[in-house]
Structure formats: structure tokens, C-alpha cells
Chains A and B, each alone.
Chain A
Amino acid sequence: MNWWLIANGIIGIADVILNHLQATAAQERQRWENEYKVVETQIQQKLQEDQYTVDFQVLTNLHFESMKIAGHAHGLLEDSRIALKAIGEAIVETAKEKNRLIAEKRSISFNQSRANALEQEINALIGLNNHLIPDKDQIKIQRDHFESQVTEFNSRTHTLKLAIRDRCGEKGQDWYKRLEARRSINQLNRDRAAEGLPLLPMPESTKSPRKPKQTPRVFPKIRGTVKWFDPSKGFGFIIPDDRRPDVHVNKKNLSGIYSLQQDDRVEFERMIGNRGPWARNVKRI
């Protein structure tokens, strides 16, 4: 009977302990799950930020390239228009001059030598127009080509601009705002220049934020003892005081000294190369 009571008691206690453990485990699991969610969110955020950064770099580079191409095509288009205007005028004037000479030739038909000279001039003008007309057609083809490139690359630049705004997080939105502000000021300045007014300066807020200057990397100074150094070969090894592996030293990395001897105490910067650690800026102490 006693045994039965004891056994029941033990079972009851075990049950309580088990319940307690289960509750604790559930709490722990909940805590762990919450932490996991937090960490996962942080990782996702970091990944998203990284993706934004990558997209931003890629898209802004493409935007810059696209603008450059549109600008180049626009310059060529303007050149074609200048060429077309100049060639067109030359064709018209050549034809007028030719007609004038033809009329003159008709009026002086009794003067053979003058008529021959006029004939030569007329032929030269016909030759010139025969040269200019295909040139004009060629330039027209080039103009149409450049016009389509300008349209295409202006549209591409616009698409990229919107993609940077919408796909690159805050960085992209900030870039877009600055770009639009610069564009408005440039437009205002174009109008002011046309009116002969002084140009407005570009506000600092529209410029790209400057990257902080990178401070040069400083390597900690390590102390150690020369294990051996062969002056004829120009290299040796140092045993560092921090008990890490021996460091190779070459004479070209000695600073203010020309050679080393065994057991010299030295100070140096430890670098890691393909063949293991090596010492730079080695000074005797």
C-alpha cells in the first residue's frame, strides 16, 4: 500500500515537473522563435538594403551612360541639321546661279568665247549640284538615325530615372529629388541666360553627398626577436612576442637599418601574404 502511495506521489511530482518543463520549453521556444523572427527580419532588411545599393549603383551607372549616349546622339543630330541647312542652301544657290548663267549665255550668243566660258561655268555648277544632292540624301539618312537614337535614349534615361526612384529605397528617392532639383535649376538658368540674366548657383543640397575620406589603414606594431637573418641572401625570420607563427623578413622592408642579427629585438608591422606572414617597416629597438 505504502509503495503504491509512494509510486503515485512520485508520478504526481514527475507530472508536475514535466508540466513545468513543458511550459518552460514552450516559453523558451516562443522566445527563440521571436528572436529568430527579429534576426530574420534584420537579415531580410540587410539583404534588401544590399539589393537597393547594388541596384542603385547599377542603375545610376546605366542612367549616366544613357545620358551620355543621348547627349552624343543629340550633338550628332544638331550637326546633321547644320549640314542639311548648309547643303540645302548651297544647292538652291547653285541652281539659281546656273539659271542666271544660262540666261546670260542666251543673251550673248554672238560672243563665242564668252559663251564657251559661261558653258564651262554652267557645267561646273551642274557638277557641283550633282555632288551635293546625294550628300544631302546621305545626311538626311544620318539625321533620321540620330533622331531615333536621341528619342530612344531619352526614353531609356527616363525609364531608368523612375526605376532608380522606385527600386532603390531611400537612396534612390533622394537621388531622384536631387536630380529633379538640378533639372529645374538648369531649366531656369537656360531661361535666364536667354534673357541675359545672371545664372543661379546650384544649391549644395542638389549635389551628391560626398563620401567620407577613407583613413589609411594602420597596422599594429608587433615586437619580436630575430630568429636568424642571412645578410647575403637578404632575408630571415622573426619570432613574434605574441607567440604567433614566425614572420618572414626581407631586407627591403628594413626601416633605417641595413641588416639584422640573430637575437636583435625589433618592432614591425605584420602583413599576411600568399606565403604566410611577413614583416614590414622593421625597426631595431
Chain B
Amino acid sequence: MAVNNKIIEVTPTGEVSFPNDVTNFLQALSSLGALSPIIGQIIAVRVQMKQLQNDAEEIKRDYEARNKIIDGAMKYAIQQLELQKIGMKKYFEYASKQLELSRIDNSERGRVMQSMTRLMSDPKASIEEKRLAQETIRAMSSDMIISQETGSTRLSALIESSNKNLLSIPSLAGLLPPAKQ
């Protein structure tokens, strides 16, 4: 059974560390300031979780290929995956608390995406770092859409309130049509 290299070590208690050198990746995140280590860890945990899914699927395929026999090695691999899953869950609980009060705006996301785009084609970057860069681009792109949608909802609420004020004053009839939301 081939198991991918670990991007990040996660203990069952939720402590994380990078087993390989990811300096280039952390450097590319540096525009986020104090938030950069935690964002880097979250991205790495996400990549690791995807890897876990792949590994789990591989174990499943192995299990079926061996006529549904679970041997010692397979049992150990399943236990390890389970432990990592628990550790990652704990880490995400901790990370979401850390990020609760923080806000990253789209200009910061844009800067990070540009750094990550450069990292993706940087010959000095390791394969792990490139994978982390790709995941960061993916995450930042999705976050940008969410942020725009949230802003759009707030904009609609402002327009609705303004339209109500406008319609409540008969003397202004004809001056302005209600705005479209």
C-alpha cells in the first residue's frame, strides 16, 4: 500500500508541525502577517485530509482486492488514519476559534494568490510546497466568492432599507424610482 508523504504532522491531541521544510510556502503567506502561520497550517491540514481520503480509498481497494481480508498491516493503517482524523478535528476546532476575530480582506487574498501563483512555478519550491500553493489558491478563490456574496447580501439590505424610506414619502414620487436589488 503506497501512502503519500506527510505534509503536516498532527497528533491525536490536535498539535501540528511541518515535518518538511516549507519555508517558501510560509514566506508566500507572509503578507497575512500574524495570521500566516495558522492559515498555513489550515491549508496543510486540508491537503493532508485530502491525502487521507485517497489513502483510505487505496486501503479499501486493497481490502477488496485481497478478498476482504484485513491483515495486521491494514488494521494498523486504519487505526493510524483514524487517529489522524481525530487530531485534525481537534485542530480545526482550535483554528476556527483563532480565526473567529480575524478578518482577511480580498486585497490580502489577492496578494496571497499572486505569491502562491509564483510559488507554483518556482523551480526551488518542493513538490509539497507546490501542492500547498495550489490548495491555497483554491481556498482563497472560494473565500473571495463567499466574501463577495456576504457583501452583496449587506448591499441588498441597504438598498431595501433605502427603497422603503423613499416609498414612504409621497412628495418624492417621481423623483427617483426604487433601486433594483
Measuring CB to CB, which residues of chain A are less than 8 angstroms from any residue of chain B? 55, 58-59, 61-62, 65-66, 68-69, 72-73, 75-76, 79-80, 82-83, 85-87, 89-90, 93-94, 96-97, 100, 117, 121, 124-125, 128, 131-132, 135, 138-139, 142, 145-146, 148-149, 152-153, 156, 159-160, 163
Contact = CB atoms under 8 A, between A and B. Distances in A.
B147 interface: yes
B105 A93 contact: no
B149 to A, nearest CB: 8
Interface stretch (B30-38, B94-102, B110-118): B110-118
B162 A83 contact: no
9 smallest beta-carbon distances between A and B, as pairs: A79-B106, A86-B113, A86-B110, A82-B110, A83-B144, A76-B151, A135-B141, A93-B117, A65-B162
A55 B141 CA distance: 46
B152 A142 contact: yes
Q: Chain A: interface secondary structure?
A: helix
B171 A160 contact: no
Interface in B91-146: 105-107, 109-110, 113-114, 116-118, 120-121, 127, 130-131, 134, 137-138, 140-142, 144-145
Given A69-B159, A96-B121, A124-B131, A153 B110 contact: no
A89 B141 contact: no
Nearest to B4: A120
Contacts of B158: 65, 68-69, 72
A153 B179 contact: yes
26 contacts: A55-B171, A58-B171, A62-B166, A72-B151, A72-B158, A76-B152, A79-B147, A83-B110, A83-B145, A83-B148, A87-B113, A87-B141, A90-B117, A97-B120, A97-B121, A100-B121, A117-B127, A121-B130, A128-B137, A132-B141, A135-B142, A142-B148, A145-B152, A149-B155, A159-B176, A160-B175
Contacts of A124: 131, 134
Contacts of A89: 113-114, 117
Interface of B: 105-107, 109-110, 113-114, 116-118, 120-121, 127, 130-131, 134, 137-138, 140-142, 144-145, 147-149, 151-152, 154-155, 158-159, 161-162, 165-166, 169, 171-172, 175-176, 179-180
Contact of A121 (B109, B127, B162, B179): B127
Given A66-B162, A124-B131, A72 B154 contact: yes
